[in-house]
Structure 1
């Protein structure tokens, strides 16, 4: 039973376990292979043994044992026909390495979800060694088949106010597929290249570069504008009006309370809160117009079909395109340029909400690594952290 446990721990079915020993804090398992005669790698003829020595490799990790080693004989052999000399090797074990491929892959997989430094401290290995193993084996964990039906595109900050990046994420699974440095049209189009063949729906914000890049990279996909960013145009306008009234000496109590009441649907408010909103709107014509335009747009967003949504949206744009309030006119002009995207926003079940949460996760990965100088390694780390399934 004891030998069977060691056999399962080592997980090398072709080897024979001779004995185990402990040297200091290291457990070493002495292994051997059945007698065999390796052929020459050049002429495939019989060879003879010249020298034989034992070599050790790190092979696994156990909770109470720590990192355990295996010891196998390495022979130096000579071909009887061509005189070629070579060292014998084992599958998955390089004679020049200090660890087996199985151990290196396990270490690389252990780094997913934590930092490389934490794994290096746990295993008492050099940081640079663990880092090299991670970036060597980690790409093999990712799937090469990328065929999403709907994706979300959004920008995030490497360094706020200075460096930005663009991320493309699966709208259904939340897996990030690509990251590119920059937030211009070329960067967005480059990020969408890996999903352009299969994507049917692309969700983004109202940035002009997003629209141009999506039309160029995914011309057959439906462009959906995120509903939150559309409503944000109205809430920002309401906030500006509220701040203008506050400068005039008219205080409205808690700022968060004011913004919350103005941006919420009237159906969700109590009668007392509705009365408070009416009093605020009476004090400013601009505030009243912005608030009414927001409620009318919410009525447009409740459309059930494409024809109804198009008819209501055209009526809304016709009503507020020449409004006396400049803020509402600017919103109407912005929506008039994106009529098809707004209709898709009303009818589509997808949004950028999951992408906004993933942006926060991307920033946490960046801070945990104290920044990344290599964008490819940063993208690899983000893909591994957000992947739903790994190979």
Structure 2
């Protein structure tokens, strides 16, 4: 038969005041489900009265019956598990009232164990829906969300100060609405999330929560090529340099190049057999046209579909020869990604200042105008090492949370889930790093 000590080890209970007897495990039915009950008794000798704090001298506090409570516990085996605790009641002679014994595994006036709440928070750091967490923890969805909301309070921003380097971005949530977020670009910590990305709302947020003195300490702000950011950042952060994320520079010209390829490709979608061959080649080998020219193979022959035995570079050259507009656009595309890759602002500036753009596609012309408009900020891209990599990674994880939950109607609940998810992830990562360092030491 198991001893009290054995059962405490099995259930990971540290409270020595909980006493388990032999045959303490029974089975029953609760709300139409088969469940497991574990019976125990909570008793000890109190040092003082919990209400009047009078010391327990000469039996001034004596035992006065018990009070039973059913506490939801993490599932043991395959059935929902409950602790049925017989809590000792005490009577204080000095105060003339009674109080009940307490245990750290469950809070006063609560019937959900702290083990369950810990499990909810642990699962919240993973990409799980609230419904799945509730099912695994054997509680309601409202309890899961309430636990998340309560725990997120200690991670909410206090608006004491701003870091020197910020990053702005937005993400989509329920019904196509866009939320705004800003993070510390150096460590990736989320500073706050707003339910809208409108310039007026964002401006009011920073003005109401941060003084001008705090905002003047911000040195750089990394953004994408969103025109609204550029319009209000100089007013809110007078001393901050605006940095255009280099990924969005490459993405802009990459999309223009791909749209040009699709446009030329569709021109060959005719009944002519030779045109159909060109159409299929441009459609099948689209990745090679978008590939960096320096990454193409110039020495290794290989058999390719629709081409036969060729060099990779020769395939690209032959497809570019189909149309002069495609070739001219490709050359500008390669020059821009080369300049960005080499961190050469002067080369990029020369490319954008070129006057002969008549042979380029309309898509690339539009992209060049956009880059010229943001050229003063792109200069800072080559000057500073910061980018939007961390915030883009955060947004990808946020989208996963939104997808597994099939959307959030309540933005406050969604924000709390995001805060808990990333805060606990960071805590777990820091804890793991400390363990590694201790092992090495």
* TM-score, normalization by structure 2: 0.70
- Match in the other structure for 1:205: 224
Give the conservation status (yes or no) of the 8 Å contact 1:168–1:191: no
Distance 2:323 2:74 in 1: 70
- Match in the other structure for 1:224: 243
Of the candidates 10, 15, 29, which is equivalent to residue 12 of structure 1?
15
1:22 deviation in Å?
Answer: 2.8
2:268 matched to 1:238?
no
2:381 matched to 1:369?
no
Distance 2:376 2:93 in 1: 74
Distance 1:356 1:349 in 2: 16
1:209 deviation in Å?
Answer: 1.4
2:334 matched to 1:292?
no
Give the conservation status (yes or no) of the 8 Å contact 2:42–2:88: no
Q: Cα gap change, 1:98/1:226 in structure 2, threshold over 3 Å: closer, same or farther? A: same
SS of corresponding position for 1:223: strand
Q: Deviations over 1:187-226 (max 9, x none)?
A: 5557877996886543321110122344445444443222
Of the candidates 137, 140, 150, which is equivalent to residue 136 of structure 1?
150
- Match in the other structure for 2:308: none
2:45 matched to 1:34?
yes
Distance 2:215 2:80 in 1: 46
Distance 1:191 1:281 in 2: 50
Give the conservation status (yes or no) of the 8 Å contact 2:121–2:148: yes
Q: Cα gap change, 1:102/1:280 in structure 2, threshold over 3 Å: closer, same or farther? A: closer
Which blocks of at least 5 consecutive residues in structure 1 are unaligned?
none
- Match in the other structure for 2:435: none
Give the conservation status (yes or no) of the 8 Å contact 2:257–2:364: no
Give the conservation status (yes or no) of the 8 Å contact 2:72–2:111: no
How many residue pairs were aligned?
Answer: 381
Distance 1:23 1:131 in 2: 31
- Match in the other structure for 1:338: 374
- Which residues of 2 match residues 351-390 of structure 1 at below 5 A? 351-387=387-423, 388-390=425-427
RMSD, aligned α-carbons: 4.0
Distance 1:164 1:345 in 2: 26
Give the conservation status (yes or no) of the 8 Å contact 1:16–1:34: no
1:372 deviation in Å?
Answer: 1.0
Of the candidates 150, 156, 164, which is equivalent to residue 171 of structure 2?
156
Which blocks of at least 5 consecutive residues in structure 2 are unaligned?
28-35, 269-274, 299-310, 429-441
1:247 deviation in Å?
Answer: 4.1
SS of corresponding position for 2:180: strand
Q: Deviations over 1:102-134 (max 9, x none)?
A: 543444434432333333333433333344334
Give the conservation status (yes or no) of the 8 Å contact 2:258–2:290: no
Distance 2:191 2:157 in 1: 10
